[in-house]
Structure 1
Amino acid sequence: MYDVLIKNGKVVTSEDVLNANVLVKDGKVAAVASWGEEPEAAKVIDAAGKYVFPGAIDSHAHLNDPGYNWREDYEHGTAAAGVGGCTTIVDMPLQNEPAMTDGAIMDKKEEIVSPNAYVDYCFWGGLVDYNFDKLAELDEKGCVAFKSFIGPVSPDYVSLSYGQAREAMEIIKKFGGRAGFHCEDFSIIKWEEARAKKEGRNTWRDFLDSRPVVSELIATKAIIDLARDTGCKVHICHVSHPDVALAIAEAQAEGIDVTAETCSHYLSLTEDDVIEKGPICKCAPPLRTADAVEEMWEYVDAGVLSCVGSDHSPCADYEKNDPDNVFDVWGGISGIQNIMQVVYSEGVDKRGYDPTLLARALSEGPAKVFGIYGKKGAIKVGFDADLVILDPDKEWEITPESLYYVNKISAFVGMKGKGLPVCTMVRGQVVAEDCKLVGEKGYGELVKKIK
């Protein structure tokens, strides 16, 4: 007998949409069978009229645990992820206290967060100027990639110079790891911020102008050049503009192992939202023009941008409400709960992209980038039974009350759309149903890079 039968659904793979049933046994996908084949199962879920997607993998999340739990924690962050269709999150090493920069800190972090996780999770390792000798240790413990900043970063973390990045990449290349970068040129941004302050310019237009596309492009091209030089695999985080995506596409065509992600806000919101709404829409890189949004979808569909993450960067309400200085307001958008519905509604329902785009950009792509494909990332026999049933006809509006975050604020509040996850399953267990959390806290497990 099987544990679960999901019947009559349209199963979405990276290449096709199949009329198929999914059978689950011992937390794994045991079979994908044609409609009408209904072996006995302890639990039967009828997905008629709905899509069955592989669970989404959020490639870029800041859960701030331990240390900054008043912004977000594992209990709330992973609950929100599960309700939104994310079955695995890839947690960043900063906005933790301390930052996750060595093996002992990683062990302690896992000990603290594991009792509170509703969905599975991976760890990015820290990449700062004082832990080059700890990178191999973090890799051995299962970190899936290493995160660094070329642009400005919060005081609790450290940016790298290009020379330091090159040395780190030489080290990471030796053990086959992947180095991830926040690509915005430090000198341009700090100069433009200082110039604006000196001239008394303090509008949201001034903030946007202080982080121009050229800053992101210069840093991205520099990292690509260093990847060519060192042979290290690199990942460009949160690409915001098609000019940057084009540079990545050209490097990929050259044979350089560079992967990249964008975020749901760069596919749905624009700089006009920043000017209109101010702090709640501040992020880095900043939101771009409406034309840029449309072109970004093309690079996601083509696979140049192989991941769509949330860059979930939560904060307390007061950190978004400093009217005196636009440059000092907390920069970050909370989006981990809404990534799947936003990408489906904006991409499939509004723009007509095939549902397979979600299977590629939310599941298969990030699983392959972070070395967990085979366990995660697809509805295939032997993979974890991480499954999401999505109702394509379900209309929605994002409200503060619907959010499971510690701080129920988000740039996505007020957005309306169509197509909503209605059931989320992690390793064969239902963790969310009808937009409500039903899972068991502590069920989520650490997922390590497959060696």
Structure 2
Amino acid sequence: MYDLVIRNGLIVTHENVSAGNIAIQNGKIAAITSAETEIEGKEVIDAQGKYVFPGGIDTHAHLNDPGYNWREDYVHGTQAAAAGGITTFIDMPMQNEPALTTAALFNRKEELLKDKGIVDYAFWGGLIDNNVKELVGLYEAGAVGYKAFIGPCSPDYTSVTSGIMRHAMREVVPRDIVFGFHCEDYSIIKYEENKAIQENRRTIRDFLDARPVSAEMISVENVICLAKETGARVHICHVSHPEVAQLIREAKAEGVKISGETCSHYLVFNEDDFLNNGPIFKCAPPLRRQEDQEALWEYVLDGTLSCVASDHSPCTLEEKAVDSGDIWKSWGGLSGIQSTFQVMFDAAVNQRKLSPKLLAQVLSYGPAQAFNLFPRKGVLAPGYDADIVILDPEKEWEITPESLFYVNKISAFVGLKGKGSIEKTLVRGKVVFDDGKITAAPGTGKLLKRQDCGPRQL
């Protein structure tokens, strides 16, 4: 008899949708059978009429813990992830105090957070302007990737030059670890920002004009060129525009080791939402035109952009400076880790009539492939962690401040309505979210280190 059986569900993978049962033993998927096969479990979940997805993997989240807990902490952030069907996320190294740029800081963060998480998590290591010598140590500590900013970031997380990028890639290429880049050209952005401020231009339009698509494209072209030369694996974070995605498509065709990620907000919002609704919608790269938003879907559908992430970047309402009339004072970032799965389901399956397989592809399988999180994560198959999301395709939802588990209950997604609500989330066979409530204690989630996984092609 199995520990748990999920019966009668519509099991969704990146390859097919089929009626069946999932048997779970010791936190792993032990068997998947046809719906007609009788299997017994100590506990049984009836998923009749529901979709059963692999748990979501968010490749891009900023939880601000340790250091900036007034924005978000691991208890609230991972509760929100569980409520949103995210069973694993990869936490960014900045918005920590200090930023995670050495093995010692990796170990410190691991110790500080070990009893806080509801879902599983991994750490990005940081690449800044003076820590190339620390990259091997970060790899050995368990980082699953290195994150670098080509565009402006913050005083405590410096941007990198092409020389540093090239040196870093050559240093670690034998270890086959991925470099993730925030691709916006520093010189273009700082020139346009400074010029606008000097001329007392402080509107949303001025912010949009200071971060043109050309700045994103120039940076991506630079990364691709260096990846070709060095053989490094690279990941382009939060792609906002179809022309940027086209560069990734062409690089893949040439054999470059490159993956691409976009975010749910680039697929459901556009610059008109920002212009009409204010700084709550400020992010970087910025939201693009409506026609660009629509065209970006093509690159999700064909696999060019194999990951859809949240870029969850929380802040206080005061930091958004919504009434200041000065867009340069507003925090740039959206809170979305709780919303990505349901928003993508509604946008893809209900609005565009696409197969739910797409969600399994871009929220689970694609991220697991990009970050070598298999044979643990990303797939509903025997031997994998029983990270599972049960979604009711007929249940309607509305995102309200009260429904959010964040420390700061503000989000650009507040007010959205749709259909396809997450009913249950399981992490390694344990129900952590059930019918609107968190059902697991902090500490249920575990740190997933690079050495805990390994490359495995399915």
Using the size of structure 2 for normalisation, the TM-score is 0.97
Contact in 2 for aligned 1:84/1:435 (Cα 8 Å)? no
**Residue 327 of structure 1: SS of its match in structure 2?**
helix
| TM-aligned CA deviation for residue 324 of structure 1 | 4.2
Q: 1:289 aligns to what?
A: 289
Structure 1 consecutive aligned stretches of length 4 or more whose deviation exceeds 6 Å: none
The whole-number CA distance in structure 2 between the counterparts of 1:14 and 1:258 is 20
The 1-side partners of 2:131 and 2:339 are apart by 34
1:372/1:448 contact within 8 Å kept: no
- Give the aligned partner of residue 346 of structure 1: 347
SS at match of 1:425: strand
SS at match of 2:410: coil
Shift of 1:13: 0.7
2: CA distance, partners of 1:333 / 1:154? 17
* Alpha-carbon separation, structure 2, partners of 1:259 and 1:403: 31
Structure 1 gap segments, 5+ residues each: none
The aligned counterpart of 1:242 is 242
Give distance in 2, aligned partners of 1:153 and 1:213: 18
CA drift of 1:297 comes to 1.3
Q: Which residue of 1 aligns with 2:146?
A: 146
Q: Is the 8 A contact 2:203 2:325 kept in 1?
A: no
Matched residue type, 1:6: I
Partner Cα separation in structure 2 for residue 388 and residue 38 of structure 1: 22
- Which residue is 2:338 aligned to? 337
Q: What whole-Å deviation, never above 9, does each CA across 1:217-240 have from its counterpart, x for those lacking one?
A: 110111001100111100000000
Counterpart for residue 46 of structure 1: 46
Instruction: State the match for 1:304 in structure 2.
Output: 304
Residue matched to 1:218: 218
Q: CA deviation at 1:319?
A: 0.1
Mapping of residues 177-326 of structure 1, within 5 Å: 177-321=177-321, 323-326=324-327
Q: CA deviation at 1:94?
A: 0.4
| Helix, strand or coil at the partner of 2:327 | coil
1:396 and 2:397 aligned? yes
Shift of 1:156: 2.0
Give the conservation status (yes or no) of the 8 Å contact 1:172–1:178: no
Residue aligning to 2:13: 13
> Cα offset for 1:340?
0.2
Aligned mates of 1:357, 1:298 — CA distance in 2: 12
Report the counterpart of residue 77 of structure 1 in structure 2: 77
CA distance in 1, matches of 2:172, 2:183: 18
CA distance in 2, matches of 1:14, 1:383: 15
Partner of 1:372: 373
TM-score, normalised to structure 1's length? Answer: 0.99
Letter in 2 for 1:72: E
Q: Report the secondary structure of 2:384's partner residue.
A: coil
| In structure 2, distance between residues paired with 1:203 and 1:70 | 27
Letter in 1 for 2:329: D
1:105-144 equivalences in 2 (<5 Å): 105-144=105-144
1:430 partnered with 2:428: no
Structure 2 SS opposite 1:368: helix
Aligned length: 451
**Cα offsets for 1:366-386 (capped at 9, x unmatched):** 011111121000000000000
- Is the contact made by 1:166 and 1:230 (CA closer than 8 Å) also made in structure 2? yes
| Residue equivalent to 1:92 | 92
Give the letter for the 2:432 counterpart: V
SS at match of 2:124: strand
- Say whether residues 1:440 and 2:441 are aligned partners: yes
Q: CA deviation at 1:199?
A: 2.2
SS at 2:123 equivalent: strand
Q: Deviations over 1:315-340 (max 9, x none)?
A: 01100015142122100000000110
- Could you tell me how far apart the structure 2 residues matched to 1:8 and 1:239 are? 38
Q: Deviations over 1:413-442 (max 9, x none)?
A: 001111111100000000001122111210
Q: Can you list the C-alpha shifts for 1:273-317, whole angstroms capped at 9, x where unaligned?
A: 111111100000000111111111111111110100000000011
C-alpha distance after superposition, 1:241-268 (max 9, x if no partner): 0000000000000000010100010010
Secondary structure at 2:278 match in 1: helix
Pairwise CA RMSD: 0.9
- Partners of 2:406 and 2:38 in 1: CA distance: 39
Give 5+ residue unaligned stretches, structure 2.
none
What is the CA-CA distance between 1:205 and the residue it aligns to? Answer: 0.9
Amino acid of the structure 2 residue aligned with 1:397: E
CA contact (8 A) 1:422 1:433 kept: yes
C-alpha deviations, 1:146-186, integer Å up to 9, x for none?
A: 00000000222110011111111111213221111000000
